[in-house]
Amino acid sequence: KWNAYDATVDLANGRCSFDTAWTCPEPLLQKLSARFPDEEIVVVYADEDVGSNCGTLKLKGGCVVERDVSPRWSDLDEAGRAKWRAFALGVKGWTDEDEDAAE
């Protein structure tokens, strides 16, 4: 929808973070992975809709080699919702109170 924002880069540890609108930019990340085919790239993501559209991708050689992503919110039971909500809060670095204040 628009470009990334709030980007940080930690070259010493080989990490970066950024925010984007809508969904994880998987096609872009696959292209990045293809440029560095010998490196495994691990992507951990969560959007502001805490518990939905979040997960972990591992890429190598331009391909997703491992995927652990949240199912549709409506397909989750209470335990699944709690799991993915906790995951997303951890990725965002938020607490329950932080998320409540954002609503």
Read off the pLDDT of residues 5-32 as tens digits, 9 standing for 90 and up: 899 999 999 999 988 877 889 999 999 9
* Percent composition of the chain: helix, strand, coil (DSSP 3-state, to 5): 35, 30, 30
Cβ burial of 84 (10 Å; 0-12, 13-18, 19+) is buried
Q: What is the mean pLDDT of the chain?
A: 90
Judge whether 42 and 58 are in contact, CB under 8 Å: yes
Question: How many CB atoms within 10 Å of residue 81?
Answer: 14
- The whole-model pTM stands at 0.85
